[in-house]
A and B are shown apart, each in its own frame.
Chain A
Amino acid sequence: MEHRWGMAIDLDRCTGCEACVVACHAENNLPISSPEQGAKGRTAHWIRIDRYYEGEFPDVKVKYMPVLCQQCDDAPCEPVCPVYATYHNPEGLNVQVYNRCVGTFYCANNCPYTVRYFNWFAPEWPEPLQLQHNPDVAVRMAGVMEKCTFCIQRIKRGKQDAAQDGRPLADGEVQPACVQSCPAEAMVFGDLNDPQSKVSRLAQNGRATRLLEELGTKPKVFYLQKVK
């Protein structure tokens, strides 16, 4: 296995600005939900900002936590899919094959992070947003499940460019849209197989934890936060 992609998110830096959410929408052709559907909980954001509140009003502290697909090494979503629409690719990513998906919802039920999103209707974009679709990413049809891909199209492009120049892929050369757009530089993406990569070093950091690690899912997203 050449690469093993991972991410580190520094929660002590995250300001909850949601720039990552917007960038992800633009990069990955995510449909725009109507306000009514949004109120019903039908929005799709491959990365979302969970808010947790500490203390009593007015002495409240808000904690932000960007949650995206954790790209688990032992992903609970994978074995339950009857049609292999979700599977583990050689670089350790949980890949969703839209064309195979029949929409049993089982993967989403078995995801402890609730990061899988369903296409309840045929996707729609208010004019003129449909003109800014990313040509590198498929538009998903009604009835299939989808989720964060770690911007696999960017990984592919990065590897192609490096191969063309006949050089190895440099650390930080590939950046998913969310990482690229984070103004606080709270997110780092890279190769966990390279011990010198920034993400590998952050993963070794004493502040690093993984979300719901106790379930044995072996997630590849590391959250950095000072534990009091």
Chain B
Amino acid sequence: MATASELLPYKQIREDLFRPLSSVSRSYVLVAILALAIGASGFVAWSYQLRRGMGVTGLQRPVYWGVYIVDFVFWIGISHAGTLISAILRLTDAAWRKPITRAAEAITVFALMIGGMFPIIHLGRAWLFYWLIPYPSSRLLWPNFRSPLLWDLTAIMTYVTGSVIYLYLPLIPDMAQLAEHNTPWRRALYRTLSLGWTGSDREWHALERAMKLMAGIILAVAVSVHTVVAWDFAMAVAPMWHSTIFGPYFVVGAIFSGIAALLLAISVLRKVLHLEAYLTRHHFNNLAKLLLLMSLLWLYFTIAENLTVWYGNEPKEMAVFGARTRARYAPYFWIMVLLNFVVPFVLLGIRRLRTIRTATIASVCVVVGMWLERYVIVVPTLANPRLPAASGLYTPTWVEIAITAATFAAMAMLYMIFAKLFPIIAVWEFKPHPQEED
């Protein structure tokens, strides 16, 4: 199906999409300064933590994993925006994907960069993080391959590498175009990065094949990455972590929050870069339907997980279940259900209500709700260990909050820089016949 943007003349499309690269508005500068300030406060908080010790966080026995691990799972989840959506839509040849793939792939790379920081921020001796990397070292000791944390490291490294390549490949033809008429430093940048792309038939075929191949690979990697993240919890013998459905449950949650992040991103881009002609109701409608589907799947998994625990009535598991649904963590749990299921179900399930605005509202709800979901999974289990006498409480401190806020600022900053260096919508995809240079 042809979308509105495909009916525009290619020359205009090119101008529309290349224009944001050459100008910086006042509000851009203001937002950038704000993001930098929040980011800087995060760095201050982290250096304070490195200097004083992990005691500046709210962590305490027995809650040894807190907001940092929640953020970690959250950002790795967000990273599933790009790859999965863009890869699935590319493999199924869905034409409507064209204006959203790059925005999605960029989210993936940046969310992974940010998420990947958290296991390091969380380490008691962060400066020794490289001891987890398998390389022949003077310590004469390999890392322990039985540890899920090592699987994690391997999976995330693979995912970062794969998604950078996956973002890079479709950028090549656009960068070659950008290298033609530009300021000297930009010309040098794009020429280097476009690897001498000339747009010959052979190059197009090679690129198409490489993109198809990477789409397939990245799909498998993305599913396995979030499964491995889930196994960080599921492999432990802790009550309500030791669950076989955690793998698929986390993958579903990740795609769910990923779609929400993508919807949010394109809704902002649409407004800020005036891309109304490209990011249309059609895209929002399709993505909103996907979001609704994932919301229902998420609900199914959540019920499957909690109902079996409740019915089984095993005392140690019930202690966690009670903390989640009736006691201290109940507000988090029920707000999570509200944001992840009730709001999207009403706003997106009723066709009359499904608009660009409601899709954006639902996305914000889902992003917040999925952060809460990870909090509800991580904290109550640890706060209610098997020996009741060892129970404890956890409240995050300003250090953890500042670092969390900084990562959101970092995401905005990276995305803003990216949008100034590269067209956020793949221009070449709109070419009627890619083989012919215009």
Task: List A residues at the B interface (Cβ < 8 Å).
Answer: 37, 40-42, 50-52, 65, 67, 76, 79-84, 100-106, 108-110, 112-114, 117-122, 141-145, 211-212, 215
A107 to B377, CA, bound (A): 18
A-chain residues with CB within 8 Å of residue B387 when the two chains form the complex:
50, 67, 112-114, 211-212
Interface residues of B in 142-164 (CB under 8 A from A): 143-144, 146-150, 153
The contact size tier of chain B is: 35 or more
Binds A, one of B16-24, B126-134, B264-272, B276-284: B126-134
A118 touches B124 (CB 8 A): yes
CB distance from A47 to the nearest CB of B (A): 13
A-chain residues with CB within 8 Å of residue B125 when the two chains form the complex:
101-103, 141-144
A171 to B52, CA, bound (A): 45
Number of cross-chain contacts by CB at 8 Å:
139
User: Does B342 touch A at the CB level, under 8 Å?
Assistant: no
B124 touches A144 (CB 8 A): yes
Task: List B residues at the A interface (Cβ < 8 Å).
Answer: 52-55, 59-62, 64-65, 119, 122-125, 128-129, 131-132, 139, 141, 143-144, 146-150, 153, 232, 235-238, 382, 385-390, 392-393
A-chain residues with CB within 8 Å of residue B236 when the two chains form the complex:
76, 80, 106, 109-110
Given contacts A52-B389, A109-B236, contact A117 B61 (CB under 8 A): yes
B389 touches which of A51, A83, A106 (Cβ 8 Å): A51
A104 touches B123 (CB 8 A): yes
A215 to B238, CA, bound (A): 11
B53 touches A121 (CB 8 A): yes
CB distance from A58 to the nearest CB of B (A): 22
A142 touches B61 (CB 8 A): no
A102 touches B129 (CB 8 A): yes
A83 touches B124 (CB 8 A): no
16 more A-B contacts (CB under 8 A) besides A81-B144, A118-B61, A142-B125?
Answer: A40-B60, A41-B60, A41-B62, A82-B143, A102-B123, A102-B124, A103-B54, A106-B236, A109-B236, A110-B236, A112-B386, A118-B54, A118-B59, A142-B124, A143-B124, A212-B387
B62 touches A108 (CB 8 A): yes
Of the candidates B52, B144, B148, B149, the one having the most CB atoms from chain A within 10 angstroms of its own CB is B144
A33 to B124, CA, bound (A): 18
